[in-house]
Amino acid sequence: MSVSKADIEFALDLFAPLGGISSRKMMGGLMIYSHGQVFALLGSSGTLYLKASGGFADELATHGARLFSMVNKDGKTHTMGYWTLPEPALDDPEEACNWARKALDQLT
C-alpha cells in the first residue's frame, strides 16, 4: 500500500505556511522537508508523524500523540522517533505549523 495523492496534497498544504516544503516518497510513505530538513513523514495509511525525541516527544505524548511503530515480517514490532501530529492540529494549519516548528527547532 502506498500513500494516496490526496493524502500527499493534504499534508503539503497543511505545512505550506512553513515555507520551503518539499517531499520524497519512501517505502510506501512520504518524507516531508522544510528547507531541506526532514521533520515529518506521512505513513502509507495517511497518518502524519513529526520527528521527535526527548522533551518534545514527551510533550507530544501529553497531547495524545502516538509513537510510530510497525510489525516486520518476522513478527517483531519496531518503533522510530516519529510521533503522530496531535489530532486538533489536523484541522488547523496554524497549529500544525506550530508543532512542526517545534520539531524543526529540536533538530537544529
In the chain, the domains with their CATH numbers are: 5-107 (3.30.1460.30)
Strands (E), the chain: 21-26, 29-34, 37-42, 48-51, 67-71, 77-84
The Cα-based distances of 31 to 43, 62, 74, 81 in angstroms read: 9, 24, 25, 13
pLDDT in tens, 19-31: 999 999 988 889 9
CA distance 43 to 90: 14
pLDDT in tens, 74-106: 889 888 899 999 999 999 999 999 999 999 999
- 58 contact partners, CB below 8 Å, separation of at least 6: none
Q: What is the pLDDT of residue 40?
A: 97
| Model confidence, pTM | 0.90
pLDDT in tens, 48-82: 999 999 999 999 999 999 999 888 888 898 888 99
